Structure 1
């Protein structure tokens, strides 16, 4: 387990809907491993949820029922992902959504993970206070990060989140005048009121 916030696995799910409690399933996972601020590995796979997905989700994600008919089940893919993840910490943009699906899908196959989650959206709200909103696409433009690809595909979104994250870590490093941002500082920052962020960073 790495103690620095620049070594973790960034992940993104595409899903059949918003809630695993309502029977929604993952249909794609994309993940990027960052070690010491560099992308070292990637994981991407479609997965078959065992039922047909809605026309809305097909249009939203660009993932069709025909594509899903040819791929492994959620259980097979998630077992591979659990192996890929190991005990690394995790990051997602709007992490509560991805964490719900990761927990549900791994629970289905009796697998666990030991890393802890942080959310780039929560951190962005405290660091990028002038951004028009904190959607991934908006923040990529706000930070002038080059992007060519389709949002709402899992690997592309994970790669963009990773770039956004490293850019945000640079900003935090400048504020704390330190080359490494501890994972524990990000966990604190995520829960700090916006008005108290500068005070937190100043005393770190």
Structure 2
């Protein structure tokens, strides 16, 4: 059964060879944390070999070298395991449209799918933290003083801090608008509201 609470989700992050699976780019690392009622109950992390060498730019950006990928399992094997990991869970990512593109593309290649829906912590942050000039993950981690190990652009580390950010955003609805246990569907709706009407929208939800 799909859990409807915004605090029961899988938060995921991909590292990839580029920006678009339509241009032939592939995933090279997946990291994810599974939350139940706001508590981390499981984690998933793996490098994956895309079948070709990655660029020097991507090596420098992610810290993932071709030598590391040479001995990594195939995308097919990793994504087969990951499709099992995310079944019956809703999904969260920072800039979720990017991660959804790669998740959909990689699973399509192995004829797998998933049952949950996506929400985006970046879009929610833009609406709840409108005073913040940057909504890049690293900048939000600093803004909210979220504990981190200083590693960015590695999948599990990014998924961990995104999970912390997501829970902080969800909890802010309770603190600021008295919405107890916000639903995942509410967070999705929130991410699509015009910024000017956020307070009015959330005040109605608390009634």
Shorter-chain TM-score bucket reads over 0.9
CA distance in structure 1 between the aligned counterparts of 2:3 and 2:147, rounded to whole angstroms? 28
| Alignment partners' CA distance in 2, 1:198 and 1:173 | 13
| SS of the residue 1:191 aligns to | coil
- Scaled by the length of structure 1, the TM-score of the pair is 0.98
What is the CA distance between 1:149 and its match in structure 2?
Answer: 3.2
Other-structure match for 1:110: 111
Gap regions ≥5 residues in structure 2 = none
> How many residues of Structure 1 are paired with residues of Structure 2 in the alignment?
204
1:8 aligns with 2:9: yes
Which residue in the other structure is 2:189 paired with? 188
Unaligned runs of 5+ in 1: none
Instruction: Tell me the residue number matched to 1:84.
Output: 85
Q: What is the distance in 2 between the residues matched to 1:163 and 1:186? A: 15
The alignment yields a C-alpha RMSD, in angstroms, of 0.7
Other-structure match for 1:174: 175
In the other structure, the counterpart of 1:144 is 145
CA contact (8 A) 2:12 2:92 kept: yes
Cα distance in structure 1, aligned partners of 2:36 and 2:175:
20
Give the TM-score of the pair, scaled to structure 2. 0.97
1:61-99: CA deviations, max 9, x gaps?
000001001011101000000011112000000000000
Deviation at 1:130, TM superposition (A): 1.1
Distance in 2, matches of 1:186 and 1:102, equals 21
Q: Secondary structure at the match of 1:118?
A: strand
Cα distance, 1:179 vs structure 2: 2.5
Q: Runs (4+) of structure 1 moved beyond 3 Å? A: none
| SS, match of residue 148 in structure 1 | coil
Q: Does 1:202 align with 2:206?
A: no
C-alpha displacement of 1:176 = 2.9
Distance 2:150 2:68 in 1: 19
Contact 1:132–1:138 (8 Å) recurs in 2: no
Between the aligned partners of 1:111 and 1:54, the Cα distance in structure 2 is 28
